[in-house]
Amino acid sequence: MKYTIIKILNSGAFGTVYEVIGEDKNRYALKEVKNLDIINKQRFEREIGVLSQLNHPNIVKIIQWNIGGDPPNFSPYYIMEYLDGGSLREDMDEKSNQRHLFEIKWTINRIILPVCNALAQAHSANIYHRDLKPDNIMFTNPSKAEIKITDWGLGKDVNRESLALTTATGEIGGTPGYCSPEQWFAYEIIDGRTDIFSLGVIFYEMMTGMRPPAYNDTMKRKSVDPPSKYRPTISARLDDCIMKMIELKADNRHRSVWDLVSEVETLPDNY
């Protein structure tokens, strides 16, 4: 199927996303690599490989792709479903400007649990997102009733050898402020707990309007106040859940996303 470009939706260091219309008159999004080098091509191929394996209502669906040739003369792209509800980051920025916070029940039911369910399928396939942040959580439409996780360019089954190679090439990946310490410093094997850390930072930020203090290269950070300090209506159990998600040591977090879901689903109605 042929596509006609309508406009640029987003452009970053890695690639550009366009709104396009297919021959079937439906809207889609086209993503292409922006910086044509070997590392970006590998990341792009990795994202296509991940998305072609996953099929979940909360993970963006890939429809068509073209890997392209070898750099610098290659034009890789893929076509994905069109999401026109904006990103969670845009929603968070709007709330911050208005000095508002997200409603707790809405956050849990519309963001946290859907993200957990999507991650559960990915983790079952030994795929870890590794760059979970509000920018990569998109609403499917303006009603903001459903989300999908995007940007799986770092998603892969990571072991110590591959992570060491990634570090050596300078492409550690992850986003400062959301990336887990074990990924950032590449000192242990990555598993689902690194995505739990990133989701915990998002959860904390949605509840308080601020991110937890950053850690340093000695694995220390300023004392983290529980969310209830900034929002007294938050219960002790919700406090404990969020604080556990953002523990610096992976062993102190939830063992898996399934454990996290079990805890969130049993929180009292007053949160």
Point out the catalytic residue in the list 131, 135, 151, 239: 131
> pLDDT class for 73, splitting at 50, 70, 90?
low
Fold of 88-265: Transferase(Phosphotransferase); domain 1 (1.10.510)
Q: Render pLDDT for 144-175 as a digit per residue (tens, 0 to 9).
A: 999 999 988 888 655 444 444 344 444 556 88
Active site residue 131: yes
pTM summary value:
0.89
Fold of 3-81: Phosphorylase Kinase; domain 1 (3.30.200)
E-strand ranges in the chain read 3-11, 15-22, 27-33, 62-66, 77-81, 137-139, 147-149
Which of 256, 258, 225 minimizes the C-alpha distance to 242?
Answer: 225
Q: What does the block give as tokens for 31?
A: 């993503």
Strand partners, 28: 20, 81
Q: Render pLDDT for 93-111 as a digit per residue (tens, 0 to 9).
A: 999 888 899 999 999 999 9
Q: Render pLDDT for 179-190 as a digit per residue (tens, 0 to 9).
A: 999 998 887 788
Q: Render pLDDT for 194-221 as a digit per residue (tens, 0 to 9).
A: 999 999 999 999 999 999 998 887 777 8
Which of 257, 262, 234 minimizes the C-alpha distance to 245?
Answer: 257
How far is it, in rounded angstroms, from Cα 26 to Cα 77?
18
Which of 105, 110, 88, 83 minimizes the C-alpha distance to 29?
Answer: 83
Domains of the chain: which residue ranges? 3-81, 88-265
Strand partners, 197: none
Q: What is the pLDDT of residue 217?
A: 75
Which of 179, 203, 197 minimizes the C-alpha distance to 246?
Answer: 197
